[in-house]
Chains A and B, each alone.
Chain A
């Protein structure tokens, strides 16, 4: 405040010109106040300790309490402090996130507000903007900020029955036509012993009964892994209902993954959607999420759900180009649950290529289509199954009510 400096100058000049000693005292008081204000405010701001505490992962609809604590470690009172906590617009808050208060020496002020996780996503909480100054307005306002933290809101999980899928999809374990693997839990019969047979395969009871060495024959079977292929290329979705359909596709993918994990089957996730944690400056095709290979366990499911919480649809690589190459890291015979918008000719051909590559794809369409019968017929001819999983409006309403 330059006005105060002018006043001090005027006081000193008056004191000198009129030879008034007491004018100097007044000038000293004014100068002291000015120096104090200029010096103390930045110092007090530097001695302020701020912390933001909250659970950084939440399920949809959960309230997330965020606690902000301010500690004055200085040796004098901080006259006033104003904070403004900036949160993402998608996260409504119930309490005020802007406050002004003062802090005495060593005092800690704690403020709590609640965030409502209303939508799947990866959101920033913060930054926290701080401003403070002196009591007389002599020093400029000191501003600083606490960097933002992030909150991950998991996608909605729906039971398979509500998705409109058959209760027993051929997930995971399928009968194999090639007798490479014999399942000891599935005995089929006995046969005569041949050279090379393992002694452990001999059925001793039958051999004793027939007085000839007989070996067990087992039903050939293979326990395969499952991977969810989620197509999040923006161009593959119809423009009209794009936002809701994409969210629905993610919900379907998450629900399938949760179901499979609950069934203790290995599940993986592949998508051409982008991950906001990847560097933002590279092209969108390079920001695609890292594939998660099939694994079992709850920890892996949470990792998968976290990935699905963050994932975003963009114009990356179309499914027709990406689908076949995306499955290269997967083992042979993996069941692929392909979640995409429509079952057009190109999509079916892509899936047919996957069939021929030794995978077991299942097409799950999330966009409503009048010609789904044709798609199903085409899929049947090409050697894979197709289902339509359309978002139920009632389900959406139920889901929203649950969120509330």
Chain B
């Protein structure tokens, strides 16, 4: 009995006390003796049983009374939970004798339940904050010793190592959805690290001999910060361009889109105004489109024709000579006289449009190499404000004098 350190009676009672509280605390997590619970209802049943004991007062409850108090749940279920709790010592007989029917409950299981519920709701962040505050107070208190400081730093190192490891494993190995579901590990990390650094600074300042423990804490904090960065990077990459939608997994949005009514979907956009989808046409676009259309039409190939039918030759593709037409026009204008005034010719034509045509014909006759008529312009202008054209140059259209061969 020398090899293991000999246990005194005090040590044994101390261990027994720890073990008793430990068993009581974990009673609420036990399904049977030795197994973890798997569903939430059993925790609720435990809650009800402990509540019944809280209201029962000083004389305690019998098992039957407890079952009756927990009418919300099935009797057999409550009875089974009652037995489990008794087995773990969370509920015990008031007097330890065989036929005692009244029981009392320990407070530790209920405190454990409260912690469990708070951890479930808030991810344990506030508990961590409270723990850090407590540690800070502990190491600052006047009668704290180096051993206290070391223990405190080691506890914190352990906490942050666990946190960081869990997070880094999730960030490295698991799917982004799992990571998103465990994102509460990420929350409030800055203030957590700051608080831990505060404890670290106090410890290092008071007990410089603890530098090794403090270094371990620093490493743990740095590892936690790295894990946060990795996890946050992973989540942001997964959220992609739609990060404004939060860190919900993609499937949640798909399900929302599939299951929602049009009204619900529209309500999401209630506070936004969108521009009407009106296409814009710049004049440049219009011109380009029109020109492109023309190009298409000009580059169209003629349909294939058979070779044996010769197309008719183009009828006199050369100079279209209208000498006869022009001569007739000239004779009509001159009407057997030697010359005629341009003003008169234009007046005879009537409106400006036909007068312009006549003018063009007269000019063409004048320039035609084969026709012996000429147009001689004189000085002066006839002005008539009301008429159209309102002014006309004087000039004469006459038979030519180049019959002698000076045509050119």
Q: State whether these chains interact.
A: no
